[in-house]
Structure formats: structure tokens, C-alpha cells
Amino acid sequence: MRITPIAVPAALAALLLLTACDSAGGDGDGDGKRESTACSVDTVSMEVGPASVAPAAGDTGEVPVVLTNQSAACTLDGFPKATLVGVSDSATFGVPPAEGAKAQKLTLAKGESASFTLTYERGTRGNGAFNAENLQVELPGDSSGPGVRSFRWTYGPVAHDGQGGHKISVGAYQQAGD
């Protein structure tokens, strides 16, 4: 009979211990990893290029963007928001995700990197092509304010797709490095 009173408190202590572990920042999957906040343009460095530039109209080019986390662990969940800005700043074009691309959730520890790629077809000026001057990048879930980084677009005009859009897309985030 002495064993029963001791076993019940031990079971209760184990249950409380398991509950305490989950409420201390678990991600709800039971794997013990701590949740992280969304990555912010304030806490990551970004580098555009070097690009594989489309040399002539009709050619395809790729522009990689690498993000490196400079702070506490953060998460990239979804697609980056990429916008091309034209000469007058009033003309903009939101870049859609690449056809068939699947967004993935990546958690970056301090110093870790991820990348995504813009793939475009070079157009001819004045032929419905978008004459971009800047590329603006926003991160999904960034609540740090405007959260936009702007980079000079030096890769030529982006071809018109004949359906009201342009021939450019953004790929999913990929883990970079090791």
C-alpha cells in the first residue's frame, strides 16, 4: 500500500514536467524546438547577385538573392514579396511565385543563410517590356514596419507575357550553405 501514494505523485510530477516543457516555447509538434519570430529586414543582411544576366531580348536570366540572419533565430514562411519599380516610381509590378514552386518554412539561426531566385526573360524596350529601375524585397510576416529593401535593377527590361503581366517569377526559399 505504501507504493500507491508514491506512484501517484511521481506520475503527476512527470505530467507537470511534460506540460512545462511544452509551454516553455515548444512549437506544438513535440520536438522540443523553440519557436522563432518571422525574419525581418532589420535583422537579416541581403545580397543580390551575382546574376546570370540575360544578354539579349528573348534570353532568360537568373538573379539570386541571399539572406543571412544577423540576430536571434527567425523564420521564413511563404514566398518573398518581390516588386519591380519603374522609372517614375509610380509604375510597379509584383513578381508572382514561379509556376509549381512550393513555399517551405525555414528557420535560420544566427549566421545561417537562405536564398531565392528571380527568373526573368529579357524584353525589348518599348515592346510592352517593363523597364525596371529597382527591385524591392519584403519578407513574409515581417512586422518591423515598412520592411522593404531596395536594390538597383541592372538586368535590362523584363519581357511582356502578352496577358497583362511580365515574364518574371520568384522561387521558393532554399537553405544556403552547409
Same domain, 21 and 47: no
Mean pLDDT of 14-40: 48
Same domain, 74 and 15: no
Cβ-contact 113, 177 below 8 angstroms:
yes
Same domain, 28 and 42: no
Residue 136: is its pLDDT beyond 70? yes
* Interatomic CA distance for residues 77 and 7, integer angstroms: 44
Q: How far is CA 123 from CA 57, 83, 160, in A?
A: 5, 17, 7
Residue 35: is its pLDDT beyond 70? no
Residue 90 sits in a domain whose CATH number is: 2.60.40.10
Same domain, 133 and 59: yes
Mean pLDDT of 66-82: 94
pTM, 2 dp: 0.76
The residue range of the domain holding 124 is: 37-176
Q: Cell 518599348 appears where? A: 126
SS3 108: strand
Size of the chain in residues: 178
Same domain, 137 and 151: yes
* Interatomic CA distance for residues 112 and 173, integer angstroms: 13
Cβ-contact 137, 170 below 8 angstroms:
no
In tens, the pLDDT along 75-119 reads 999 999 999 999 876 688 899 999 999 998 999 999 999 999 999
DSSP secondary structure of 69-103: E-SS-EEEES--EEEEEETTSS-EEEEPBPTT---
Residue 3: is its pLDDT beyond 50? no
